[in-house]
A and B are shown apart, each in its own frame.
Chain A
Amino acid sequence: QNLKYSNGEKYTLGEIKVSGNTSFSEQTIVAYSGLRKGKEMTIPGEDISDAIKKLWKSNLFSDIEIYITKIEGNVATLEIRLSDLPQLNELKINGVKKSKKESIIADNKLKKGTKVTENLITTTKNFLEKKYKKQGFLNSKVLINTIEVEDSIKTARVNMVLNIDKGEKVKIKDITFNGNEVLSDKKLRKSMKGTKKINRIRILKRSKFIDSTYQADLGHVIDFYKENGYRDARILSDSIIYNDDKTISLEIDVIEGDQYTFGDITFIGNTVYTNEQLNRLLRIRKGDTYNGVELQKRIADNTKPDAADITNLYQNNGYLFSSINPVEVSADGNVIDMEIRISEGKPAYFNSVSVVGNDKTNDHVIYREIRTKPGQLYSKANVVRTVRELGQLGFFDAQEIAPNFINPNPVEGTIDMEYSVKETGSSQIELQGGYGGGGFIGTLGLSFNNFSIKDIFKKDAYKPIPMGDGQKLALRLQASRFFQTYSFSFSEPWLGGKRPVQFSTSISHTKQFLFNPLTRDADKSRSFNITGITFGLAKRLTVPDDYFILSQSISFQRYDLNNYNTGLFTFGDGFSNNLSYTVGLSRNNTSVDPIFPTNGSSFSVTAKFSPPYSLFSDVDYGELKDERDINETILNDPTQSETVRTNASNRIAEIDQERYKWLEFYKVNFKGEWYTQLAKDLVLRPSVEFGFLGAYNNDRGEIPFERFFLGGDGLGNFALDGREVVQLRGYPNQSLSDQDGSTIYNKFSLELRYPITLKASAKIYALGFLEGGASYNSFRDYNPFTLKRSAGLGVRIFMPAFGLLGIDFGHGFDPIGNTGPKNGWETHFIIGQQF
């Protein structure tokens, strides 16, 4: 029966029947529809259409209709007619390799049992055609057939056949332009970013044809004309010519029009900044070739968030609600007069500043780092810097920190700021066993980068460890038959919570046993112990700018030898103390991701020195030195008798013990690195390093500790004596310094990095490097131009739970010693962050 929608009447539902080709029970369908016997409803009305909608939504049926079959009094009998959607039974894919089939099934969700709708068929077809076209198969065709399965099973089922004909890969043979007189074909082709004709030399970009890219490139051609003052340039027509199955040619007809120049440029509406100030940023004069793209860039450069353009001038000084519009007021005789209309608006102040998404890190750790404060004038630069610095904390996924502007109120001039963050795992566990250094080495390392020491006795806080106060805590135990190392370190970035003064401390103890060549085992009676403790404070400075950090630390180390005679020490029983003060100045404004910085620079200068003991001591070191030299000669003279030589050796040991009782030295280090984005994803990192170890008293000489070891992967896993291991790939570990280390080194390196993925779960990047360095034992030998050079490739993987892992293949171009063949290829495994 046909009934008008508007004059629906109230009925009580009687029987509801279900008909049509369906395998579902009547009861199920009625229940699902939401209709119920005895229910009161208006017919026609909302309830019926709701029921149809519900059934549609189930994605199980097609052709759903509801009829009134009978009306008796106010009792209506309904009938639901529908048929089941067929299920996918078998899928056959022709025309692609077996290995690709699974991905096709996954991408289009073509699993067995899927309901086959028209929509599914169309989207699958479009998806595949689009995909192949993107790969350059312009002539690809996809045909989808469905065949009903007829068997004893009631459920409607179909078999599907996907016929894929990718055809040949189509390349662009030629791109020609017609109608261009001023700009050559070559220049216009160059302006097309993604559509290129065949060129055997160019390997980075292929000459495939993708329609969407091509359309964008036509826009680029016009933009190119506009940049050169041809404001009226247009594409008249463009045609694709199919040469054969493999190649096409593109023909593009353009109209160039006339070249325009800038006329008068006037600013309107500016009260805060004078015309002069604005012109200084605009840098466009009357008579210049008209270039709309450049003009737009000077007003608002969308490619660089911190560009020096007019928009940022306003945005960085509180004028959040400002808007700047260039308007052409006249174009008389190809000369364009511009009006730059500025609506300044009220300066905006931050009302409230908040953070969301911190479900591990406590508020106070985050708010103290935020540079946009409530009540402060809005500044875009501060927002950008806050995002950068929150990323550098390492507690949040740097790629996901978003500044959200909430409740903008142009009338009051206020804005609320909300930083949305996403926590990432910032703890690392290292548990490893391995064979190395003559035996089994076991390592247990725990490092928590967002620890909360105040919660350490709270049971509730263990989920699984107390977190959220931004403190770092690390424990490391390493043991083998020959040595044991224990270390503990802790740092708090805001000591006392009032000022950003970082406090750090570490304690370590190492015990090394001598290798006994007779038993081929560790000789436990002969050992070398090192115990050390360090306290440090680091303070953020405000002058010259607030990226500077001044750090100071005091450390004490005691070396204890028990009957431990090796080449390194002339005395087997004895000790040596190292009390030193380190002061460092560093500046770091790299951003944004600490794992993969894309711009900014970081450098540091540190000086480490011990007290000048020889000033206060009355020992005559000159005399000792002479005596040592004489004894050394005796020792090396084979004509001397055994007893005399032993006596000389003992005397040397005594003298050395006197020299090294308290280590006297100073050491200067400089490191600098820069990051620049070459292309969108390509980052260049030049770096330079320099180090120098010296003695106050030349008679006492340079100490055998604290030295530089150049070469190899730069991993200082097992540093006993304050040594600094410096990375120089392409050479074996520590091969470019003397056996006992060097006192001077320098290193220069150039690294090119390309990110493969920067997701929070795993960050991967590839790199290529060129580097060179050398080490020396005195300034007499020093020559910054005779370097050991190398080049190579590598990859880094950062995963929050494992830290940084990597492998580098380096080729050394120079011999390890002074002469000999070049070193050749070396493989380096990198574990942990390199600084």
Chain B
Amino acid sequence: CNEYQKALKAEGEGAIAEKFKLGEALYNEGKFEKANKLFAQIVPNYRGKPQAEKLMYLYSNSFYKMGDYYISGYQFDRFAASYPKSEKVEEVSFLAAKSYYELSPVYTKDQKETKEALEKIQNFINIFPESEYIAEANELVKELDFKLEKKAFEIAKQYNRISDYPASVKSFNNFLFDFPGSTLKEEALFYRLDSAYKLATNSIELKRTLTGVVQLKKQRLEEAKEFYTNFKKTFANSKYISEVDNMATIIDEELNKYTAQVN
């Protein structure tokens, strides 16, 4: 540690090279914070010089290893822009994207960083389609995509939970439209049906609108029936199937009343 403190305080021409050397050694030992402090001191001195490429690579990486992803993302991006011909550029571009990935918060909070990360990773995939990191990049995309999916799903499900059924149906419709291949599709279809079913069975009979009187309950029952058919067709072996079938029975009973009336 003594050597480190001395290097940290040293000044003059010779000290710069010494700091670089010690910094690199510390970096290789895994002491990233110490290395980072030394690098930060000498970065201005190497600007424009050939050694800067290696220095900036280590410097950016030290931020990444320290978990300071905001800065590492920025530094990696700068590296990629400054040294487009560097042999490290592919790795650095990937790490830049991954830095943004690390910043993505839990799905229940604002997903600004998630969307940024997705954009960055997609960019990386577009530029380096043959990269060795592609498999990992695809994994990251999948994970981030799922966050957005899960967020939309949970919001729609909360409307069901607080008994705001029209909002829930609408949100699940939006969800199914936005994420057609979602792994949460089965649950989404189930909750959409559940919301529509509860909305229909608790509905008032008629509603007066500008264009005339609407048979609100019948309309809602028909919509619920449609959602049921849709669910049954897609997930016939679902764990929800008995519950769903029960709903269908009641929906049919209610709907039969209307046909009985006509007869």
Chain A residues with CB under 8 Å of chain B are 31, 272, 351-352, 355-364, 367-368, 373-376, 468, 497-499
Taking CB atoms, residues of chain B closer than 8 Å to A272 are 210
Interface size class of B (residues with CB under 8 A): 20 to 34
Known: A374-B174, A498-B162. 9 other contacts (CB 8 A): A358-B110, A359-B105, A359-B109, A363-B154, A367-B155, A374-B159, A375-B171, A468-B109, A499-B162
A58 to chain B, nearest CB (A): 14
A368 and B158: CB pair below 8 A? Answer: yes
* Beta-carbon contacts under 8 Å, B182-222 to A: 210
For the complex, is B232 an interface residue (Cβ under 8 Å from A)? no
Cα distance, A357 to B111, chains bound together (Å): 8
Which residues of chain A are near B210, meaning CB under 8 Å?
Answer: 272
Q: Which of A31, A361, A367 contacts B158 (CB 8 A)?
A: A367
Partner of A356, one of B108, B112, B154: B112
B43 CB, min distance to chain A CBs, angstroms: 17
Say which residue of A351, A363, A373, A374 sits within 8 Å of B108 (CB atoms): A363
Determine the residue in chain A with the shortest Cβ distance to B158: A364
Whether the pair A497, B109 counts as a contact (CB closer than 8 A) is no
8 A Cβ contacts from B9-60 to A: 48
Least distance between A779 CB and chain B CB atoms (Å): 47
Per-residue 0/1 for B160-171: is the Cβ within 8 Å of any A Cβ (1 yes, 0 no)? 011110110111
Expressed in whole angstroms, the Cα–Cα distance for A362 and B158 within the complex equals 12
CB distance from B154 to the nearest CB of A (A): 7
Min distance, Cβ A670 to any Cβ of chain B, angstroms: 33
> In the complex, how many angstroms separate the beta carbon of B192 from the nearest chain A beta carbon?
12
Complex Cα gap A368–B156 (Å) = 11
Q: Contacts A359-B105, A497-B161 given: A373-B167 contact, CB under 8 Å? A: yes
Complex Cα distance A745/B145, Å? Answer: 62
Determine the distance from Cα of A130 to Cα of B122 in the docked complex, in whole angstroms: 51
Q: Is the CB of B158 within 8 A of A468?
A: no
Q: Contacts of B162 on A, CB cut-off 8 Å?
A: 368, 497-499
A363 contact from B155, B166, B169, B171, Cβ within 8 A:
B155
A376 touches B166 (CB 8 A): yes
Q: Which B residues are CB-close (under 8 A) to A363?
A: 108-109, 151, 154-155, 158
Contact (Cβ within 8 A) B110 A359? yes
Which residue among A272, A351, A363, A368 has the maximum number of chain B CB atoms within 10 Å of its CB? A363
- CB-defined interface of B169-184 with A at 8 Å, one 1/0 digit per residue? 1110010000000000
Residues of B within 8 A of A373 (CB): 159, 164, 166-167, 170
Interface residues as binary, B99-139 with A (CB distance below 8 Å gives 1, 0 otherwise): 00000010011101000000000000000000000000000
Q: How far is the CB of A562 from chain B (nearest CB, A)?
A: 51
Residues in A with CB closer than 8 Å to B166 are 373, 375-376
Which A residue sits closest to B107, measured CB to CB?
A363
The winner among A375, A376, A498 for most chain B CB atoms within 10 A is A375
Give the docked Cα–Cα distance between A2 and B171 (Å): 66
Q: Which residues of A contact B112 (CB under 8 A)?
A: 356-357
Closest B residue to A365 using CB positions:
B108
Contact B170 A374 (CB under 8 A): yes
Q: List the interface of chain B (C-beta within 8 A of A).
A: 48, 105, 108-110, 112, 151, 154-155, 158-159, 161-164, 166-167, 169-171, 174, 210
Across the interface, do B110 and A357 meet the contact criterion of CB distance under 8 Å?
yes
Q: List 8 A-B contacts (CB under 8 A).
A: A351-B170, A352-B174, A362-B108, A367-B155, A368-B158, A373-B167, A468-B109, A498-B162
Does B48 lie within 8 Å of A31, measured CB to CB?
yes
Given that A31-B48, A499-B162 are known contacts, is A364 also in contact with B154, CB under 8 Å in the complex? yes
Q: Are A361 and B169 in contact (CB under 8 A)?
A: no
Smallest Cβ-Cβ distance to B151: which chain A residue: A363
- Closest residue on chain A to residue B170 by CB atoms: A375
Most chain A CB within 10 A, of B48, B151, B170, B210, is at: B170
A356 contacts B171, CB within 8 Å? no
The answer to whether A374 and B171 touch across the interface, beta carbons within 8 angstroms, is yes
- CA of A37 to CA of B180 in the docked complex: distance in angstroms? 55
- Is there contact, CB below 8 Å, between A362 and B174? no
Question: Is A375 touching B167 in the complex (CB atoms < 8 A)?
Answer: yes
Q: Report Cα–Cα, A499/B162, bound state, in Å.
A: 6
Chain A residue with minimal CB distance to B166? Answer: A375
Q: Please indicate the chain B residues that have their CB under 8 angstroms from the CB of A368 in the complex.
A: 158, 162
Top 5 A-B residue pairs of the complex, sorted by shortest distance between their CB atoms:
A375-B170, A373-B167, A374-B170, A362-B108, A363-B108
Q: Is B109 a contact partner of A376 (Cβ separation < 8 A)?
A: no
B167 touches A374 (CB 8 A): yes
Q: Which residues of A contact B151 (CB under 8 A)?
A: 363
Minimal beta-carbon separation of A595 from chain B (angstroms):
24
Q: A497-B162, A498-B162 are in contact. Are A364 and B167 (CB under 8 A)?
A: no
Please report the C-alpha to C-alpha distance between residue A66 and residue B170 in the assembled complex, in whole angstroms: 63
- Given the complex of chains A and B, what is the CA–CA distance between A176 and B166 in angstroms? 65
Do B109 and A356 touch across chains, with their CB atoms under 8 A apart?
no
C-alpha spacing A485/B105, complex, angstroms: 40
A359 neighbours in B (Cβ, 8 Å) = 105, 109-110
Q: Which of A31, A364, A374 has the most chain B CB atoms closer than 10 A to its own CB?
A: A374
Q: What chain B residues lie within 8 Å of A352 (beta carbons)?
A: 171, 174
Most buried by A among B110, B155, B174: B110
Nearest CB of B to A164, in Å: 39
Give A352's nearest chain B residue, CB to CB: B174
Alpha-carbon gap, A359 to B104, bound state (A): 10
Q: Which residue of B lies closest to A499 (CB)?
A: B162
Is A360 a contact of B109 with CB atoms below 8 Å?
yes
A499 to B164, CA, bound (A): 11
Chain B residue nearest in CB terms to A368: B162
Contacts of B164 in A (CB 8 A): 373
Contact A351:B155 (CB < 8 A) given known A272-B210, A373-B167: no
- Shortest distance from the beta carbon of B52 to any chain A beta carbon, whole Å: 13
B158 proximity list for chain A (CB < 8 A): 363-364, 367-368, 497
Give Cα A498 to B164, complex, Å: 10
Q: Establish whether residues B163 and A498, one from each chain, have CB atoms under 8 Å apart when the complex forms.
A: yes
Interface contact A356-B163, CB-CB below 8 Å = no
User: In the bound complex, how far is the Cα of B154 from the Cα of A497, in angstroms?
Assistant: 13
Identity of the chain B residue whose Cβ is nearest the Cβ of A354 in the assembled complex: B155
Residues of chain A within 8 A (CB-CB) of B108 are 362-364, 468
Assess the B155–A376 pair: CB atoms within 8 A.
no
